[in-house]
Structure 1
Amino acid sequence: MRRFILYPLILLLAYPILPLHAQEEVSSLLSAGQNLYLSGRFSEAETVFRQAVEQDSKSGPAHYWLGMALYEQDNLDEAEGLFKRAMRLEKKSALGHMGLGLVYLKTPNRRMDARAAMREAVKRAPDDAQIQYYMGMTFVGQNRAGKLLSAEADGRAYFQKVVTLEPDHPDAYYQLGLSHEYPQQAYEQAIFLYFRQLSVTPDHRDALLHLGTICYVSERYEQGLDLIDQLTMMHGEETAPLFRVVRAQLEAAHYHSQQMYDKAWEAYELYLTSVDADERAYYEDLKYIAAPDEYETYQAASEDEQTEILRRFWASRDPNPATVVNERLVEHDRRVMFAREYFAGGKMPWDRRGDIYIRYGDPDDRQRFLGGSNEADVFMTTRNPFGSSIRERSFRTGGNEEDFVRPTDNPEVDAIREVNRQTRYRLRARGAHASESWVYISYGLELFFVDQRGDGNYDYPNIMMDPTAIFSQMAGARQEKFHPETIAELLIKRRPEDYHHEFGGDPLQLVFDMVTFRGEDQQTEVELILSLPTWQLGSVQDGNGLRTHLDTHVSLRDAEFRNVVSHVQRYGPLDRPTTPQVRRQSDVDMHTISAVFFAPAGAYESAVEIQDVATRKIGVYKKPVVLADYRGDSLMISDIKLADDIKPSNDEGAFIRNGLRISPNASHLYQRGQLVYVYYEIYNLQQDDVGATQYETLYEVTPKGAVLRDRSQQPAEDEQSVLLSYDESGLRRDDVKFTGLDTSMLAPGEYELTLVVTDRHSGQRTSRTTTFVVMGLN
C-alpha cells in the first residue's frame, strides 16, 4: 500500500482549551513533530510528540500524532493504545478511529476490525478524502503471498467518492483500476483509470506497470503506446524516462506481432538496457534455454569464454543468417517477456509453466480447469464447440477455470490426451486445484501444471495428490513413469528448445549460384546469381500494382558463426506480368538477377533471403560455399560459371563481363541436347620471351559419383567420361575463355564437369569442378 502524508488533516486539527502559554508550547511541539513526520524522520518525530503528550496528557491530537509516528515504525501495539486514547479524548474527532483502522489494516486477520474503525471515522468526517480512501482499502484483499488484490465491489464506491472529493488523489484511480481489472477483466475501464492516475501522479509505478501489463496481455500494443506518448506530452519530455521501460516493452511486442523483427530487436534491446541487472539476467542466462550439459560448460567457463559461448549459441540458431537480426534471439526475448507477465504471479521469475514456455513456446492447446474432485476424472467426453475460444480467452486474461478438460476441434490434440489418459498419466487428485493442461503435438505429449497451494505458483502435480497412486502399485508405477516432470526432463535432454520461424509471407522458390573471380588487387570477387520463376510474382490482376521490387539480403558466416559479409540490395522496379503465368515443370520463364561483392577467401555458410515487395512472398536458402583465394603468382582459374548462352557484346550491364553477354543458369539444369555454356577466367599464365602464352584446357564430363580416370590410361571406347582437349595460346597473362558442351549424347542424370588447365611454359596445372543436370525431353 502506498504511503500518503495526511496534509489536509494537519490543517483541521483542533486543540483543547489550555492556558495560553501551555497551548502555545503544545502547538509548537506538534508543529515541529509534524514537520519531522512529513520529512519521514519518524523516530525524531516520536520524541517530539512524546514531549507534547507529557505537556498535555489530555490532548487528543498529541496522542494521535504520537500514535502515527509509532505506526510508521511498526510499533503497532503502542500505537493502537494511543489511538484508542485519542478516541476517548476527542469523541467527535475522526482521527483516532482512522488511526486505529490503519493499525488493523497492517495487522494480519483484522481487516474486519479495520473496516469497523474506518466506518466510525467516515461517520465523523464523511467528506474527508483520505478517510474515504482508507475505508476503501479495507475492502482490498491480499493473497497468500501478501500481494494486494483488487477492491471488492462494495469498496469501489469509496474510491469513487475519493476522486470526487479530491480529483488529483495520488492513488484512488489506481485502486479503482484494480477493481475493474480483477476479477472480471474490464480492461477498457481499467486502462482509462490507470491512465487517469498517471495523469495526476506520473511517478505512480504500480499504475504504470498495470497499464503496460493490461495493454500487453490484451494485445492492445498501439493503444498503450499512444497513451504513453500522451502522458509524455502532458508532463513534459523530462518525464519520458519514467515511461521508457513500459514503452519499450509494448513497442517490442507490437513490432514482433507485425513480424517486423529488426524493429522488434531494437525495442527489446532498449527494454533490456532500461531494466535492472537482475531483470536483464532472466533474458540472458543460458540456464533457461540450453541443454543441461551445455549449461554446465557455460558455468565452468571464464567471463570472456561465457561471452563467446553465448554468441555462438545464438548465432548457431539464427534461422535467417541473411538478415542482421537473429530472429531466434528475438523470439527468446518475447518468450521470456511473456513468462514474466503471465507466469510470475506466484513465483519469481516465473513458475514451472514459464520454464516450458521459454523452451518450446506456445503449446498447440492449453486449458485451465479445476484439477480433481475426490477421484473424479478431469476429462469430459462431450464436445463443446465454443470451448476452444473460451479457453484461449480465459488463458490470456487469467479468467476462471473450466471444471473439466474439454475436447477440442483438433483431433491430434484429442488423440494425445486420450492416449495419455488411458495408458500414461492421469491427473486425479484429492480436492480441487486450479490446473492447466498443455499439449505439444510435435512431441506427442501432454503436460499438467497445478496450483497446489492456491498461491498462483503452478508446478508439476505432486504424485501423492493421486489417491490411486497410493493404493495401487501398478497405477503408482505408471504415474511415476509418465509423470509430467519425468517426461519434461526427458524432453529437455533430447531437445532442449524448439522454434519454427515464420518468415512472414508465402514461400518464394528460387535457385542461386555463387561463383568467384579475381578482382582488383587480387581480392576475391563474388557474383551471386538468383533465378526465380516469373509465375511466382503474380500479375497486375491481383491488385498489388503494375511493378514490384525484389529485396535481397546475403550473408556469409564462418565456422565460428561470425557474420563475415552482409550484402543488401534492392532490384527494380520490375514490370509484373499482365496475366497470371502458367506454372510448368519445364521450359519455365525465369527472372534472373545478380549481385557482385568482395569477400575474404575461405569456407562459409551462405544465406540468401529474397522478398517480392508486391506479393510479400519470401525465400530463404542456405548452403555451404568455398571462396577461392586468388592471391599469389601461381597458375589459377576462376570458378566455372554455367550459362544458357554466351555472346559477344559491347553493352554494359549486370550480365556483361569482359565483352561477353552471359545468360547465367543458376539452376544448372539443362534439357538433353541443350548446350552447356561454360565461362571461366585463367590467371598468371607464364609468357615466353615474346610475350606469348601456351596452355592446354581439358574438359571432362563424368556421371556424378564415377571415378575420374587417368587420361593416358582411358581407352577410346570407354563411355564413362566425355573428354574434350584444346591447345590454346595467347598474349596475356590472364585470359578469358568460354565454350559450349553438347549434351545430346548424355543420358538424363547428374554430371560433374572438371576443367583442367595446364601451362605449357611453367608446367603448372590447376583445375575446377562443378555439376549440372541433364533432363529428359518431355
Structure 2
Amino acid sequence: MDQILLTRIWILLFVASAVALFGQANQAISDLYHEGYEQLAAGNYTKAAQTFQEVVDEDPKNTGAWVGLGRAFLQLEPGSAKAERAFNAAVNRDRKNGEAYYWLGLLWTQRQNRHKEALEQLKLAVHFSPRLVDAWELLGFLHEQNANEKPAVLTFADALLANPEHAIFYENLLRTAYAYQYENIAIKALNNYLKVTDTPGRTRVDLAEAHRHKGDAKKANEIYTELEKSTVPWPVCHGHLVKARISFDLGEDETGCKDYWRAVAAINDSASRKEFYDDLCFIMQDHEYDLHAAARIDSVPTFYRRFWRSRDPNLKTELNERIPEHYRRLNEAEKKWRRSPVGYEHSILIHERSVAGGDEKSPFRNLNLVGDEFIDVAHFPKALPRDRTINDLGVVYIRHGPPSEEIRPNFSSAGYNTTWIYKKEKNRPGMIFHFQRIGEHTGWVLEAIPSNTENLERLDSRYADLQDSLYMNGRLAPAVRGLAEQARAISLLSLQTGMTTETTNYHIPERPMDIPFQYVIFKGETANEVELYYLIHGGAVDLDETQKVDVEEFLCIHNQKWDEVTRHTRHIEQRLNLSPEQWGGSGFVMREAFPLPPGDYFVEFQLLDNVGIKRAIHKDTVAAPNYEINRLMLSDVIVAGEIDESRTYAFERNGIPFSPHMFYAFRRDDFIGIYFEIYNLQQDIAGKTQYEISFTLQHAELDEPERPRSVLGFVKNLFMDKRQVTTKFENEGRTSDDYIYMNLQFPDRRSGQYRLIIQVKDLQSGQTSARQALITLL
C-alpha cells in the first residue's frame, strides 16, 4: 500500500514538474514574440526576423509570429519570396487570418504588374477582418490605380459601413463617387450610414449634395429643407455652401448668393477653407493664390469677399452675377469633362498619354505639345491642381464659358478632335484652343497643333496644307514646318491669354450707350480731391414725353485689395425746354467730387437712362498721385471752352469759372481753355518762386516734341503750318503751390488730332514735370 502511494506521489511530482517546465517554455516563447514586435516597431528588422524565426522554430503554429516574420522580411527586401513564404505559412495555419491576407496583398503591390494578385488577397483580408482599416484603404486606392472606378466606390462604401467611426472612408466615398459619377452608390451608403452615425446633420447635408451632384437639385432641396426644419445640428459653413450650389442649379441666384456669403462668413478651419478653394482653383490667378496661401484662417472670409468683388460684372446690383455663373459652369464641367483624379500615374493612363499628339509617324510629333506639358510652356496657374478631376476642355469652359464656334472633323475623328474658337468681344480677346480626346480616363487635352486639321480651313486656309502633310512620311518641307510653327505660336498665345484671364457672359439688360467722362485729380488739404466729369447729351440720353431727362448715376471705388472706398448714387431728373431734335445736338456736364488718398484704385461708373432703357458702364483703374512728396508735380489738366472770369459757369476752381469740354474737339478758331495746378515749387529766401511753362502742340503722328522756341517762333510757325509748335514763358509766384489758366487758339493749324504737351520747369530747383492732353481740331 505504501509502495503504491509512493508511486503516485512520484507521478504527481513528475507531472507538476513537466507542467512547470512547459509553462516556462510558453512564457519564453511569448516573451520572444512580444520582443519581435517591439523590434519591428523600433525599425530593427534584422533582429526582428531572427527573433520571429526562433518563435516559429519552437512553435510552428504561431500565426502571429509568421506574420511578424513576413513583415520583417518585407521591410528588409520589399516583395521578397521569403516574406511571401512567411505570410503563406500564416494563412495555411489559419485560413481566416485577415491580417496575413493584407500583408500578402501589400507584398504583391511591390512586384511589377501583379496588382491582380494583390486585389485578390486584399478582398480576402477585408472579408475575414472587416475592421482592418489599412486593408480597406489599400484595396480602394488599388482599385483606383487600376481604373476600377465602380469597385473603388463600392469598396469605400463598404468600408464606411464596417468602420463608421473612420472619417477617411466617408471622405473617400464622396470623393470617388463624384469623380467617377457613381452618386447612386454614395446615396445608398449615406442612407444606411444615417442609421449608425452620431453626426446625422452632416450626413443629411452630404446626402443632399449627392442628389444635386447626380443632377436632381429638386430632391436635394427637399432634403435640405427638411433638415432646416429639424432640430438636428449641421455644419454651418459646409451646409450653406451646399445649399448655395443647390440654389444655383435651380436658377435661384439671389437665394444662392445669400447662402454663399453665409458659408463664407463661417469659414473657420482648414477643411472649410479647402472646400472653397477646390471650387475656385480653376479661376484663381497667381497673385490671388499667393494671397490665399498666406492668409490666416480668420482672414480667409475677407479674401473671398475681395476675390468675388473684383469679378462682379455689375457693382450697382446687390447680386454678384459672376458667382452663380461660375458654379453652373463648374457643375457642367464636372458632369461632361471629367478625368481620372490620379492623373497619369497608372498604366492605362500612361498608355493614353503616350498616344497623345497623334500617330508616332506624324511629321508634327516633335513640334506638338499636349496637355499639362503644353500648359507648362504657356502658363500653368499656381492654383490649378495637376491631379484635378476636370480635363483641359472643362478648365477652359470654366474660365471662358461656351465657345463662339466649335469645329470638328468629319466622320470617325469627330469624337476625338475639336477646336474651340472664342471671337474677340468687348470683355475678352480672341482665342483658339485645339483639343484631342485621348482616352476614357484622361479625356480631352489641349494640344499646340491640331492632330487632325480637317475642316479647319474655315478658320485659316493654311490648315489645309497642314492636313495634307499629316499623310507624309519623313521630314516636313520647310514651308509646311513654318506653318506648323505658326499654328503652334497662335495656340501658345491663346493658352497664355486663356490661363491668365476669364470671361463672364453676363449681359446688362439695357442697351449700351456712350457717355464721355474724365477724372481730374488735384491736391487737397488732407487727401487728393478727385473730380469726375461726365456729359449727359442728346446723342445718347432720351427725353420723355414731358421733355424730361431721367437718369441714375452710380459710382463705386475700391482699393487694390478690393475694399470699398466710396459708393455713390444719384437720381437726376431735369426738364428741358427743348424739342427732341434740339436736344439731339445739346447736352450738359455733371460733376462728382470726393476725396481719395494716394494709391491705385478700381473705379466703376454707370449711367442708366430710364427713358431710353440704356446703360453706360465704364470700368477703369485710377492712380491717385502723392502730391505731398518733395518734388515738382502737376495736377491733371482741365480742357474747357473759353475761360472768361466775367462769365458764370457751372463749375469753378480757385475762383476760376470753366465749362469742361468732354469731347476735346474744337473748331480751329475756337478758344481752348486750360486749367492746371503746380505743386511743390521751391521758394527762395524771400518766399518767391520762379518757373518756366512751355506749351507744345504736336501732331499725333509725331513721337517726340521739338525743342522749345521763342514766342516769336511760335507765332511764326503758326503761319508756316508745321505739324508741331512750341512756346514758353516765365512766371513768378509767392506760394509753393500755384495754378495756371489761359486760353489758346490755333486758327492756322490743319485739321487733325494733336497732343497738347504742358511742361513746367522750376527755375529754383531745376526740376521739371509735364502733362498732356489729346485734342482734335476740326
Given candidates 44, 47, 51, the residue that maps to 1:48 is 51
Distance across 1 between alignment mates of 2:95 and 2:733: 119
Given candidates 163, 167, 174, the residue that maps to 1:166 is 163
Map of 2:587 onto structure 1: 588
- The residue identity in structure 2 corresponding to 1:129 is P
Structure 2 CA distance for partners of 1:663 and 1:119, relative to 1, 3 Å: closer
Map of 2:293 onto structure 1: 271
Distance across 1 between alignment mates of 2:482 and 2:701: 51
- The residue identity in structure 1 corresponding to 2:238 is L
Structure 2 CA distance for partners of 1:440 and 1:268, relative to 1, 3 Å: farther
Map of 2:93 onto structure 1: 89
Given candidates 393, 396, 403, the residue that maps to 2:394 is 396
Given candidates 9, 29, 34, the residue that maps to 2:32 is 29
How far did residue 178 of structure 1 move? 5.6
**Residue 50 of structure 1 aligns to a residue in which SS?**
helix
Distance across 2 between alignment mates of 1:157 and 1:631: 72
- The residue identity in structure 2 corresponding to 1:67 is G
Structure 2 CA distance for partners of 1:39 and 1:665, relative to 1, 3 Å: farther
Contact 1:655–1:661 (Cα < 8 Å) also in 2: yes
Alignment of 1:68-83 (within 5 A): 68-73=71-76, 74-83=78-87
Structure 2 CA distance for partners of 1:27 and 1:703, relative to 1, 3 Å: closer
Map of 2:456 onto structure 1: none
**Residue 346 of structure 1 aligns to a residue in which SS?**
coil
Deviates more, 1:692-701 or 1:114-123: 692-701
Contact 2:405–2:421 (Cα < 8 Å) also in 1: no
Distance across 1 between alignment mates of 2:636 and 2:137: 82
Given candidates 372, 376, 389, the residue that maps to 1:354 is 372
How far did residue 461 of structure 1 move? 10
Question: Could you say what the CA RMSD is over the residues aligned between the two structures, in angstroms?
Answer: 7.7
How far did residue 627 of structure 1 move? 12
Map of 1:437 onto structure 2: 418
Superposition TM-score, scaled by structure 1 size: 0.50
What whole-Å deviation, never above 9, does each CA across 1:424-462 have from its counterpart, x for those lacking one?
xx979xxxxx95534445689664546499988968699
- The residue identity in structure 2 corresponding to 1:619 is H
Deviates more, 1:69-78 or 1:610-619: 610-619
What whole-Å deviation, never above 9, does each CA across 1:532-588 have from its counterpart, x for those lacking one?
548989999xxxx99654124699xxxxxxx9xx99963634225599999986423
What whole-Å deviation, never above 9, does each CA across 1:73-132 have from its counterpart, x for those lacking one?
525411221232233434565555555455445544445545555666677x4xx31469
**Residue 22 of structure 1 aligns to a residue in which SS?**
helix
Distance across 2 between alignment mates of 1:705 and 1:58: 98
What whole-Å deviation, never above 9, does each CA across 1:255-281 have from its counterpart, x for those lacking one?
x58xxx8xx95554223789xxxxxxx
How far did residue 345 of structure 1 move? 1.4
- The residue identity in structure 2 corresponding to 1:593 is E
What whole-Å deviation, never above 9, does each CA across 1:294-341 have from its counterpart, x for those lacking one?
xxxxxxxxxxxxxxxxxxxxxxxxxx9xxxxxxxxxx9xxx9xx9999
What whole-Å deviation, never above 9, does each CA across 1:240-293 have from its counterpart, x for those lacking one?
775487357347549x58xxx8xx95554223789xxxxxxxxxxxxxxxxxxx
Alignment of 1:625-636 (within 5 A): none
Map of 2:247 onto structure 1: none
Distance across 2 between alignment mates of 1:25 and 1:692: 106
Map of 2:343 onto structure 1: 345
Confirm or deny that 1:665 pairs with 2:633.
Answer: no
Structure 2 CA distance for partners of 1:552 and 1:465, relative to 1, 3 Å: closer
- The residue identity in structure 2 corresponding to 1:550 is L
Map of 2:274 onto structure 1: 246
Distance across 1 between alignment mates of 2:90 and 2:739: 106
Structure 2 CA distance for partners of 1:475 and 1:110, relative to 1, 3 Å: closer
Task: Give the percent of matched residue pairs that are identical in Structure 1 and Structure 2.
Answer: 15
Structure 2 CA distance for partners of 1:39 and 1:189, relative to 1, 3 Å: farther
Deviates more, 1:450-459 or 1:59-68: 450-459
How far did residue 713 of structure 1 move? 10
Map of 2:384 onto structure 1: none
Alignment of 1:218-237 (within 5 A): 226-227=237-238
How far did residue 51 of structure 1 move? 3.0
Structure 2 CA distance for partners of 1:716 and 1:527, relative to 1, 3 Å: same
Contact 1:83–1:99 (Cα < 8 Å) also in 2: yes
Confirm or deny that 1:551 pairs with 2:545.
Answer: no
Distance across 2 between alignment mates of 1:438 and 1:31: 66
Contact 1:133–1:172 (Cα < 8 Å) also in 2: no
Alignment of 1:403-422 (within 5 A): 412-414=405-407
Alignment of 1:197-596 (within 5 A): 226-227=237-238, 243=271, 246-247=274-275, 249-250=277-278, 252-253=280-281, 265-266=287-288, 268-271=290-293, 345-346=343-344, 352-357=370-375, 396=394, 412-414=405-407, 435-440=416-421, 447=434, 449=436, 451=438, 473=472, 477=476, 481=480, 486-487=485-486, 489-491=488-490, 497-498=496-497, 509=514, 511=516, 529-533=532-536, 549-552=554-557, 570=566, 572-577=568-573, 586-594=585-593
**Residue 180 of structure 1 aligns to a residue in which SS?**
helix
Contact 1:101–1:118 (Cα < 8 Å) also in 2: yes
Contact 2:522–2:677 (Cα < 8 Å) also in 1: yes
**Residue 129 of structure 1 aligns to a residue in which SS?**
coil
Structure 2 CA distance for partners of 1:508 and 1:572, relative to 1, 3 Å: farther
Q: How many equivalent pairs are there?
A: 583
How far did residue 505 of structure 1 move? 7.3
Distance across 2 between alignment mates of 1:396 and 1:357: 14
Distance across 2 between alignment mates of 1:554 and 1:242: 28
- The residue identity in structure 1 corresponding to 2:591 is T
- The residue identity in structure 2 corresponding to 1:249 is Y
Map of 2:385 onto structure 1: none
How far did residue 21 of structure 1 move? 2.0
Structure 2 CA distance for partners of 1:698 and 1:482, relative to 1, 3 Å: closer
Distance across 2 between alignment mates of 1:753 and 1:229: 57
Map of 2:229 onto structure 1: none
Map of 1:371 onto structure 2: none
Contact 1:70–1:76 (Cα < 8 Å) also in 2: yes
- The residue identity in structure 2 corresponding to 1:81 is R
Map of 1:401 onto structure 2: none
Structure 2 CA distance for partners of 1:448 and 1:703, relative to 1, 3 Å: closer
- The residue identity in structure 2 corresponding to 1:551 is C
Superposition TM-score, scaled by structure 2 size: 0.50
**Residue 19 of structure 1 aligns to a residue in which SS?**
helix
Contact 1:452–1:458 (Cα < 8 Å) also in 2: no
Distance across 2 between alignment mates of 1:457 and 1:91: 47
Contact 2:721–2:748 (Cα < 8 Å) also in 1: no
How far did residue 490 of structure 1 move? 3.6
Distance across 1 between alignment mates of 2:88 and 2:759: 106
Structure 2 CA distance for partners of 1:457 and 1:447, relative to 1, 3 Å: closer
**Residue 664 of structure 1 aligns to a residue in which SS?**
coil
**Residue 610 of structure 1 aligns to a residue in which SS?**
strand
What whole-Å deviation, never above 9, does each CA across 1:392-411 have from its counterpart, x for those lacking one?
9995399xxxxxxxxxx978
- The residue identity in structure 2 corresponding to 1:55 is E
What whole-Å deviation, never above 9, does each CA across 1:690-725 have from its counterpart, x for those lacking one?
x9999999999999899999748969996979x9x9
How far did residue 358 of structure 1 move? 6.5
What runs of 5+ residues in structure 2 fail to find an aligned partner? 1-19, 200-208, 218-223, 225-234, 243-266, 297-312, 314-325, 354-368, 381-389, 397-401, 424-429, 454-466, 545-549, 609-613, 762-768
Distance across 2 between alignment mates of 1:32 and 1:757: 90
Alignment of 1:103-122 (within 5 A): 103-104=107-108, 106-114=110-118, 117=121
